[in-house]
Amino acid sequence: MAMIACPECTTEVSDAALKCPKCGVQLRVPKRTGFGKFAKSAFIVFNVLMLVWMLYGFFVTGSVASEATSDAERIGTGIGAMAGLGLVSCVWVIGDIILGLTVLLTRPKS
């Protein structure tokens, strides 16, 4: 390991140090690990896919309800849509909790 001078107090510090031990100035920014980057990307992709799934459910329900010929079909479409969107919402919340905790636990330590 090479030694570098702290930009604030000019103390000799290892180039692997995140902070100066004397003055505490931040020397370099910690990086996420490979798994941490994967977890963060999975969290973002999961949320985008769930949003697309939810919007698709709304649009399909609207088109099916407009093509219904009786009140019973419209009511059945509404009940099915609410049940389906409720299930998607539950999957979304549970997935966000699991992936969110993974992202939180894999963040870089300072």
Contact, 29 vs 17, CB < 8 A?
Answer: no
Secondary structure (3-state) at 21: coil
Q: Are strands 12-14 and 3-5 parallel, antiparallel or unpaired?
A: antiparallel
- 110 residues of the chain, pLDDT tens digit each: 688 888 888 889 988 888 888 888 888 888 889 999 999 999 999 999 999 999 998 888 888 888 888 999 989 998 999 999 999 999 999 999 999 999 999 988 76
pLDDT score, position 7: 87
For residue 110, the model assigns a pLDDT of 66
Is the pTM higher than 0.85? no
Q: How far apart are the first and last CA of the chain?
A: 20
Contacts of 2 (CB under 8 A, 6+ apart): 14, 15
What's the pLDDT score for residue 64?
Answer: 87
**Which pLDDT belongs to residue 51?**
96
